[in-house]
Amino acid sequence: MGLLISDEILQAAGISEEELAREIAVLLFQQGRLTLAKASKLARMSRLQFQHLLASRQIPVHYDVAELEEDLRTLRELAGE
């Protein structure tokens, strides 16, 4: 599903499409609705870049068992297991 936001709305808000994606990602991460991995993907940033963004806003990074398992799956896939 995609969400279409007109250029008129972006201009009225004084924000670019990229900035809006970051703001939504930060909000959803902060609310616990997205994992760090999913939020960084939505923000179109690497996890490290997204973590720096969160740190700059003094938003703590929560890392739970589900995210650890997701990271382990990713590492196994990258290792070819």
Region 21-28: what's the mean pLDDT? 96
Question: What is the distance between the alpha carbons of residues 25 and 78, in angstroms, rounded to a whole number?
Answer: 25
Q: Is the pLDDT at 29 greater than 90, yes or no?
A: yes
Q: Is the pLDDT at 25 greater than 90, yes or no?
A: yes
pLDDT of the residue at 70: 81
User: Left (φ > 0), alpha (ψ -120 to 50) or beta: where does 5 sit?
Assistant: beta
User: Left (φ > 0), alpha (ψ -120 to 50) or beta: where does 55 sit?
Assistant: alpha
Q: Is the pLDDT at 6 greater than 90, yes or no?
A: yes
Q: Is the pLDDT at 67 greater than 80, yes or no?
A: no
